[in-house]
Amino acid sequence: MRLRLMEATVECLVELGWAGTSTTVVSQRAGVSRGAQLHHFPSKQDLVVAAVGHLSERRREDMAKSAADLPEHGRTRAVLDVLAAQFVSPVFFAALELWVAARTDAELRKAVGPLERRVGRETHAFAVELLGIDEAKGDNRALVQATLDLVRGLGLAASLSDDSKRRSVVLDAWATVLDDQLETS
Amino acid sequence: MRLRLMEATVECLVELGWAGTSTTVVSQRAGVSRGAQLHHFPSKQDLVVAAVGHLSERRREDMAKSAADLPEHGRTRAVLDVLAAQFVSPVFFAALELWVAARTDAELRKAVGPLERRVGRETHAFAVELLGIDEAKGDNRALVQATLDLVRGLGLAASLSDDSKRRSVVLDAWATVLDDQLETS
């Protein structure tokens, strides 16, 4: 039931945005009584933070799966696709609703800040692993951070319109840069 | 009076977010009667789209001014600061409120789409000019796009917490990359 509520919350955030997501709408969509919903998640904030946290876990599992299929040849470009897919996605759009709402809501920011930092650290570690680099070498660490800022920016661009052609060209160029600039062991 | 209304709108978006911005709150803050406000901007959408459009113009003027002071030495890094300043700013946070709201509001998206494309084109042309490159050469065009996606991502990261130290390291590394990879005439 917790799971159903969390998944309905993400659907609502993606389709209706922050303002359109209410505990009432979520309970209805999940087919869960108001009482049960309030028992599991007393407020909209509890529900939304739990839902986005839950999704980040699922996202991590998805990333781990896609990592298994990376090609030898053109690996960097394939890694960029795996990373970009995490940001050009409904999950990111749901998180974006939460982040933007948290910017002007101090209570919500207290809950979202730690979640965002944790997801950021995990995604960074994952990128380092996929790229197969030692991040202590040269500018590697900063280049991985730049890569994640890039895909975050691409995710935001994709939230308004289909941007896939442009994105593909940008990621091609970025892969060339990384292959050239990352220091490998 | 139009100007006062538009500037009050941006202040409201930055401080209160999309949901907290209403035509009533804006009129009060601008010290303009409801009647006058409705005369200039019949709806919240008209007001907000005009306000963000107006700000993009001011942003362009700001960029043009900062371009005059670029140093010879370390120019690329200085250009990145000028570009990043456009995204790590209240103006960007106001635009972010509008973009995210537009994602789930088809009417608003119709108005925001063209605005966003125009600002995107202008910022791109400006970046090419500041970097002093021919974008037809090599990967130059894609590298400029990547740079703008990167600073957009940095702007989003800055919306939740002060991220200036990390940002500075990322931009240092990216300046080195651009100096290495951009094809100059």
Residues 38..57 of A with a Cβ closer than 8 Å to B: which? Answer: none
B169 with A93: Cβ contact below 8 A: no
Distance from CA of B114 to the nearest CA of A (A): 11
Instruction: Say if CB A157 and CB B130 are below 8 A apart.
Output: no
User: Hey, what amino acid is at A102?
Assistant: A
Q: What's the count of helices (H) and strands (E) in chain A, helices before strands?
A: 9, 0
The tens place of each residue's pLDDT in chain B, 185 residues long, gives 889 999 999 999 999 999 899 999 999 999 999 999 999 999 999 999 899 888 888 877 887 888 888 898 999 999 999 999 989 988 899 999 999 999 999 989 988 888 888 889 999 999 999 999 999 999 999 999 999 999 999 999 999 888 899 999 999 999 999 999 999 86
Closest to A160 (Cβ–Cβ): which among B116, B146, B177?
A: B116
**Per-residue pLDDT tens over the stretch B35-78:** 999 999 999 999 998 998 888 888 778 878 888 888 989 999 99
- Mean pLDDT rounded to a whole number for chain A: 91
Give me the percent of chain B exceeding a pLDDT of 70: 99
- Residue A101 has a pLDDT of 93
- Residue A180 has a pLDDT of 93
Instruction: Say if CB B67 and CB B110 are below 8 A apart.
Output: no
- Residue B41 has a pLDDT of 94
- Residue A32 has a pLDDT of 94
Chain A interface, mutation test: which of B100, B140, B143, B161, most A Cβ atoms within 10 Å?
A: B100
With a threshold of 0.90, tell me whether the complex ipTM lies above it.
Answer: yes
Residues 111..150 of A with a Cβ closer than 8 Å to B: which? Answer: 112-113, 116, 139, 142-143, 145-146, 148-150
Question: Token digits for B88?
Answer: 């790590």
Closest to B166 (Cβ–Cβ): which among A18, A145, A154?
A: A145
- Residue B185 has a pLDDT of 67
DSSP-assigned letters across all residues of B23-55: HHHHHHHHT--HHHHHHH-SSHHHHHHHHHHHH
For A1-5, the CB contacts below 8 A with 24+ separation are A1/A30, A1/A32, A1/A36, A1/A40, A2/A40, A2/A50, A3/A54, A4/A30, A4/A31, A4/A32, A5/A30, A5/A32, A5/A37, A5/A40, A5/A41, A5/A47, A5/A51
User: Which sequence spans correspond to the domains of chain B?
Assistant: 53-181
Residues 150..179 of A with a Cβ closer than 8 Å to B: which? Answer: 150-157, 159-161, 166, 169-170, 172-174, 176-177
Per CB-CB distance under 8 Å, the chain A contacts of B159 are 99-100, 103
Please give the average per-residue pLDDT across A145-153, as a whole number: 96
**Which of B94, B146, B115, B162 minimizes the C-alpha distance to A160?**
B115
How far out from the chain centre does Cα A126 lie? 13
**Per-residue pLDDT tens over the stretch A43-54:** 999 999 899 888
- Residue B75 has a pLDDT of 94
Q: Who's near A155: CB < 8 A, 6+ residues apart?
A: A84, A87, A88, A89, A92, A96, B153
B176 with A20: Cβ contact below 8 A: no
Q: How far is residue A73's CA from residue B86's CA, in Å, rounded to a whole number?
A: 38
Please give the average per-residue pLDDT across A92-119, as a whole number: 90
List the single residue in B with minimal CA-CA distance to A147.
B150
A153 with B152: Cβ contact below 8 A: yes
B53 against A151, higher pLDDT? A151
Element (H, E) at B115: helix B106-131
